[in-house]
Chains A and B, each alone.
Chain A
């Protein structure tokens, strides 16, 4: 700054100096100029007026010796002087005494006038002397008056003249007006005679100096010259630009002082000014610059200072911040408020060099305080609760909301006497400083071992630590409440999951008990509201059994939390044992025995708001029922209530569904059997399997007797007495109402107490068929697994099914009888051939149709086969068919096929309804295989070879019976080789509306060749293959004959009825003995085959005898190959192990066993050795 200032000063000074110098110079120049100007003016003056005046002196030469001035010489002189150009006029004036005036006037011719006033002449008065102008140059005009005036009469002139006279020199007048106009001044010089030394002047010469003339004198002066000329104080000339000041000269001219003030051209002080200005500007700039520099420097310095201060501060803060960050990190790791507070302690020691660290955490009514002496290991830190209203540094700080700062051990002790442990802690502490945390959540402070207050930095540090601690405690509290909330949410979720997994009411309750237990309850009960308003325990935990037993059904009348919760329909709680005892003194004993210190009860509600139960929970510690817990319990109760509702609805639904399913199952099962006894059997088996311990079906026979059709399970006590049981059944049948054992008069029916035996009537189509007796089993929860209504439902369905079966049986029996009657019963068996037949009625199912078949021996040992088709259905057709059949078997005895047809032609004439019947007739020699055949309007027989070749017998064809009277019939011959099969059939087999007969024949051949050779089931197979499950309008009839040697093959087909099994066994035994099979093998084979056949009868046809079971056995290479075949969909033996027993037996006997399903039939194949080997 100094430099700058000096520089500025220097510059300023220099500028001033230079400016001053320049100014002075300029002044000087100015003065010089003025001087020059003045000089020039003076010179001019001198050159002009001066010369004139000087010239006036030369006028002395004008006087001649006489002392007279000649006018002409004056003129010459005057011209010379006038050429100077400075005078207006020159004049010669004579002095004329008064006496000579007259003469003079006479001589000059002019009067001497007095100038009274300028321009005004008067005649001259009497004067002493007159000075009249004798000559004047320039010659005036004719103004004569100018010449004749008296200059002395004019005072100003007079004075000058007198002065001139007296001084003998030139004398000026002052400014006088001129006679010619204008004004100026006049100079007089006396002229003397040359010889005259004294005396007066002879004349005066005078020069007139008019202003204008003077002005023109000075006109040559340079233009830039300004001058002022004064004469005797009177200004006689000035330039236009009058100088007020300037160079002053004075000179004497004509005895008068002339003053000249002249100014030259102005000398500009511009440079000085410029310098001044420039310098000033420079100086200013410098000054500004300096000032700026100075101020910026100052600012810079201030900035530097500030920066430095800030840096220092930030360093301090950083140090503190890193400490605080560590503190913050350690605080955020801690979760419990006490953990959080403990984390602060090391920082208090570190940052504040304290001896004692003090932290307090507000906890409800208490302040938990921790005081730690430096160096104490962590596990010796003890938190002590202190009442918030007590006097302690932390409590005070929190309560009062301000810092507690004390110096001096005595002061501290006085303020906080405290117990002795405190004294120990406080030993060595000389000052204490505790600050409260914001929000009164706690306090933090230190005890120092010096008696001094905290420094500012220390205070700030402690504040910062306190702030961190406060924040961390807030966080911890938040986390805790979040944690609580999360725990609650988790608990709710968990509970919801558990409840979702629970399906029964008991499971739901158990899940809830677990959940509430996991929340910290020591005793939990869940009751369900059952019938008659009883709260029955569904699940419980945490109570000894004897107490649990007393609350099995909650005694609502006794009052208590649960009663209140139920009636008030809200959560009721007691937060402490005393509170509870006060409310329910009668139950205090129980509470004490359980050890509950906080208890809560709340009702369970369905989604619709109905109460369906209650929850009770208790904990052995107080204040377990916090508001958070209440909310959670309410939430759990809501979930549980809904779940219970769901479970019970589900249980109901399940029961209903189960009942439905069971009914469906039973229904299905019943469907599979077509006999009443079969269905009854299935029914009781199904019931005993799952729902009952005993079931029996009794039906009323045609003779009005009650007969047991099927029973299963163990006979209940109530039915042990047969008579009583029958009376019971009779009662039910006659009243038509179901009766349980408990609904009957004990005296009549015996028994006592509630019983689950039920006798239900089987009612269908308005009549009672019989009864179903059940003893319903008890379920896991001791409730019956089936309700009575379900039992009734079952009885209803069963009744219908049984009635249907009975009806069907009857009808089937009728049709069977009719059919058998018409068809003449079963086919005979022949040696060396296997004959089989199949008959499928048309869609008019039970009505007998017009198809028939027959096979009978001829007297010549041949076998005759015939298949025929009488037109139409119904009785007429049946009768015609019967007659025709009879006629055939009679007429065939001694006829060839062709002859037979001819005879039949004649026969049908007498039986018109048999006319147009078609017929195929074959006779076969079983030993040679020779075949004769004829077809009357009937499809051709088919021959199938073992290797699968098929051929139709197209020869021997002619028209239907009776169609062409007297026509000769043709026959044909063929041969059936061993193993070949011939197939006769009716057109229903091969004729379809949608396809031609060729296709049908094709399919027939296909079906036939698929069967193994000698398959006695061929007829059925063919029927199945071609008509299968279709409902066909036409009857279908198939008759097959296979030519096989029967020694190595056993073939037996029988209706699927249990009664046939004995016959099968006999036949088999016979064949086995014929084939030399040893007895022990025979025993096994017979048992195995019987089992297999029994299975086929049972499963394939359900004992209704409507289908065929075929047993084939072949002996080859010391083995027996046996197959048992039925056309039913044999189920694999289900879970019922009884049914599998048969298979087990077979497996134990034979070497190989396989069960296959072929073309809708089930075939069981066995292989065993014929040599004796004991079965396994």
Chain B
């Protein structure tokens, strides 16, 4: 067993901001946690959902899978998903490597609010 401090615990918080639902994730997103992520997103109701991955330490394909499924589910309800992922963070890196749709990715929460402002 390693002596290093354990990785930040995985956690999801849902909030509302400017009429948008904000789902903030922290810790590592992998197989163990991707389902929860998907569920959290799908439980939102607002037209626009913001997924904040700033504090995510690790994101793998299962996480991306969960995000994608959530997005599709939202789109079928004519809702939209925005992803906050500051550059050079692990999540941004994985999103880039996975070729995830760049249009959905914004740098910060403020940008997300601004975008929402345009579409509102």
- Enumerate chain A interface residues (CB-CB to B < 8 A): 681, 693, 708, 710-715, 720, 722, 1058-1059, 1061-1063, 1065-1067, 1070, 1083-1084, 1086-1087, 1090-1091, 1094, 1097-1098, 1103, 1138-1139, 1141-1142, 1144-1145, 1148-1149, 1175
Contact of A1142 among B28, B39, B62, B73 (CB under 8 A): B62
Inter-chain contact A1083/B93, CB cutoff 8 Å: yes
Minimum Cβ distance to chain A for residue B71 (Å): 11
What is the CA–CA distance of A176 and B59 in the complex, to the nearest angstrom? 200
Inter-chain contact A1087/B60, CB cutoff 8 Å: yes
Contact of A1062 among B7, B61, B64, B93 (CB under 8 A): B7
Contact of B73 among A714, A722, A1067 (CB under 8 A): A714
Residues of B contacting A693 in the complex (Cβ-Cβ under 8 angstroms): 76
What is the CA–CA distance of A1059 and B6 in the complex, to the nearest angstrom? 13
CB closest residue in chain A, given B7 = A1062
CB closest residue in chain A, given B73 = A714
Inter-chain contact B98/A1058, CB cutoff 8 Å: no
Inter-chain contact A1070/B2, CB cutoff 8 Å: yes
Residues of B contacting A712 in the complex (Cβ-Cβ under 8 angstroms): 69
- Between A and B, 5 residue pairs with Cβ closer than 8 Å are A1061-B31, A1066-B2, A1083-B90, A1141-B98, A1144-B98
Residues of A contacting B119 in the complex (Cβ-Cβ under 8 angstroms): none
Residues of B contacting A1142 in the complex (Cβ-Cβ under 8 angstroms): 60-62
What is the CA–CA distance of A389 and B2 in the complex, to the nearest angstrom? 117
CB closest residue in chain B, given A1142 = B61
Inter-chain contact A1175/B32, CB cutoff 8 Å: no
Which of B28, B73, B76, B99: most chain A CB closer than 10 A?
B73
What is the CA–CA distance of A690 and B1 in the complex, to the nearest angstrom? 44
What is the CA–CA distance of A1145 and B76 in the complex, to the nearest angstrom? 27
Contact of A1087 among B1, B38, B94 (CB under 8 A): B94
Residues of A contacting B65 in the complex (Cβ-Cβ under 8 angstroms): 1138-1139, 1141
Known contacts A713-B73, A1066-B2; is A1094 also within 8 Å of B61 by CB? yes
Inter-chain contact A1141/B4, CB cutoff 8 Å: no
What is the CA–CA distance of A138 and B64 in the complex, to the nearest angstrom? 201
Inter-chain contact A1144/B99, CB cutoff 8 Å: yes
Contact of B30 among A1090, A1139, A1145, A1149 (CB under 8 A): A1090
Inter-chain contact B60/A1145, CB cutoff 8 Å: yes
Contacts A1070-B4, A1083-B93 known; list 10 others, CB within 8 Å: A714-B77, A715-B43, A1058-B32, A1062-B30, A1083-B90, A1086-B58, A1090-B30, A1090-B60, A1094-B62, A1142-B61
Minimum Cβ distance to chain B for residue A747 (Å): 22
Inter-chain contact B97/A1148, CB cutoff 8 Å: yes
Minimum Cβ distance to chain A for residue B18 (Å): 22
Contact of B64 among A711, A1141, A1148 (CB under 8 A): A1141
Inter-chain contact A1058/B94, CB cutoff 8 Å: no
CB closest residue in chain A, given B38 = A711
Minimum Cβ distance to chain B for residue A162 (Å): 198
Known contacts A1144-B98, A1148-B98; is A715 also within 8 Å of B61 by CB? no
Minimum Cβ distance to chain A for residue B63 (Å): 10
Which of A711, A1059, A1067, A1098: most chain B CB closer than 10 A?
A711
Residues of A contacting B38 in the complex (Cβ-Cβ under 8 angstroms): 711
Known contacts A1058-B32, A1059-B32, A1070-B4; is A1175 also within 8 Å of B97 by CB? yes
Contact of A1138 among B1, B2, B68, B97 (CB under 8 A): B68
Inter-chain contact B76/A714, CB cutoff 8 Å: yes
Task: Report the tally of A-B residue pairs with Cβ distances under 8 A.
Answer: 90
What is the CA–CA distance of A799 and B60 in the complex, to the nearest angstrom? 32
CB closest residue in chain B, given A1084 = B97
CB closest residue in chain A, given B43 = A722
Known contacts A1142-B60, A1142-B61, A1142-B62; is A1087 also within 8 Å of B30 by CB? no
Inter-chain contact A1094/B97, CB cutoff 8 Å: no
Inter-chain contact B2/A1067, CB cutoff 8 Å: yes
* Chain B, range 27-70, C-beta contacts under 8 Å to A: 28, 30-32, 35, 38-39, 42-43, 45, 58, 60-62, 64-65, 68-69
CB closest residue in chain A, given B3 = A1070
What is the CA–CA distance of A395 and B74 in the complex, to the nearest angstrom? 84
What is the CA–CA distance of A1091 and B92 in the complex, to the nearest angstrom? 16
What is the CA–CA distance of A1087 and B62 in the complex, to the nearest angstrom? 12
CB closest residue in chain B, given A685 = B69
Known contacts A715-B73, A1083-B93, A1148-B98; is A710 also within 8 Å of B61 by CB? no
* Chain B, range 1-32, C-beta contacts under 8 Å to A: 1-2, 4, 7, 28, 30-32
Inter-chain contact B2/A1141, CB cutoff 8 Å: no
What is the CA–CA distance of A789 and B39 in the complex, to the nearest angstrom? 29
Minimum Cβ distance to chain B for residue A86 (Å): 185
Residues of A contacting B72 in the complex (Cβ-Cβ under 8 angstroms): 714
Residues of B contacting A1070 in the complex (Cβ-Cβ under 8 angstroms): 2, 4
Minimum Cβ distance to chain A for residue B29 (Å): 11
CB closest residue in chain B, given A715 = B42
Residues of B contacting A1090 in the complex (Cβ-Cβ under 8 angstroms): 30, 58, 60
Inter-chain contact B42/A1145, CB cutoff 8 Å: no
- Over the window 68-101 of chain B, the binary record of Cβ atoms lying under 8 Å from chain A Cβ atoms (1 yes, 0 no) is 1100111011000000000000100110011100
CB closest residue in chain B, given A829 = B1
What is the CA–CA distance of A1161 and B4 in the complex, to the nearest angstrom? 33
What is the CA–CA distance of A714 and B62 in the complex, to the nearest angstrom? 18
Inter-chain contact B4/A1066, CB cutoff 8 Å: yes
**Smallest CB-CB A-B distances: 7 pairs:** A1058-B31, A1142-B61, A714-B73, A714-B76, A1141-B61, A1138-B65, A1058-B32
What is the CA–CA distance of A1090 and B39 in the complex, to the nearest angstrom? 23
Known contacts A693-B76, A1141-B61; is A1094 also within 8 Å of B30 by CB? yes
CB closest residue in chain A, given B59 = A1087
Inter-chain contact A1087/B97, CB cutoff 8 Å: yes
What is the CA–CA distance of A1061 and B28 in the complex, to the nearest angstrom? 10
What is the CA–CA distance of A1145 and B43 in the complex, to the nearest angstrom? 28
Residues of A contacting B98 in the complex (Cβ-Cβ under 8 angstroms): 1141, 1144-1145, 1148
What is the CA–CA distance of A712 and B98 in the complex, to the nearest angstrom? 22
What is the CA–CA distance of A1067 and B7 in the complex, to the nearest angstrom? 12
Residues of B contacting A708 in the complex (Cβ-Cβ under 8 angstroms): 39
Minimum Cβ distance to chain A for residue B92 (Å): 11
Residues of A contacting B94 in the complex (Cβ-Cβ under 8 angstroms): 1087, 1145
Residues of B contacting A1097 in the complex (Cβ-Cβ under 8 angstroms): 31
Residues of A contacting B31 in the complex (Cβ-Cβ under 8 angstroms): 1058, 1061, 1094, 1097-1098, 1103
Inter-chain contact A1066/B60, CB cutoff 8 Å: no
Minimum Cβ distance to chain B for residue A776 (Å): 15
Minimum Cβ distance to chain B for residue A548 (Å): 33
Residues of A contacting B28 in the complex (Cβ-Cβ under 8 angstroms): 1062, 1065
Inter-chain contact A1145/B2, CB cutoff 8 Å: no
Residues of A contacting B7 in the complex (Cβ-Cβ under 8 angstroms): 1062, 1065-1066
Residues of B contacting A1058 in the complex (Cβ-Cβ under 8 angstroms): 30-32
CB closest residue in chain A, given B68 = A1138
Minimum Cβ distance to chain B for residue A633 (Å): 47
Known contacts A722-B43, A1091-B61, A1138-B65; is A710 also within 8 Å of B97 by CB? no
CB closest residue in chain B, given A693 = B76
Minimum Cβ distance to chain B for residue A398 (Å): 78
What is the CA–CA distance of A712 and B41 in the complex, to the nearest angstrom? 12
What is the CA–CA distance of A1059 and B72 in the complex, to the nearest angstrom? 27
CB closest residue in chain A, given B5 = A1066
Which of A720, A1058, A1062: most chain B CB closer than 10 A?
A1062
Minimum Cβ distance to chain A for residue B105 (Å): 16
Residues of B contacting A1066 in the complex (Cβ-Cβ under 8 angstroms): 2, 4, 7
What is the CA–CA distance of A240 and B38 in the complex, to the nearest angstrom? 176
CB closest residue in chain A, given B66 = A1138
Known contacts A1058-B31, A1070-B2, A1083-B90; is A1091 also within 8 Å of B60 by CB? yes
What is the CA–CA distance of A1066 and B98 in the complex, to the nearest angstrom? 22
CB closest residue in chain B, given A1086 = B58
CB closest residue in chain B, given A1103 = B31
What is the CA–CA distance of A152 and B24 in the complex, to the nearest angstrom? 219
Inter-chain contact A710/B43, CB cutoff 8 Å: no
What is the CA–CA distance of A1145 and B38 in the complex, to the nearest angstrom? 20
CB closest residue in chain B, given A710 = B35
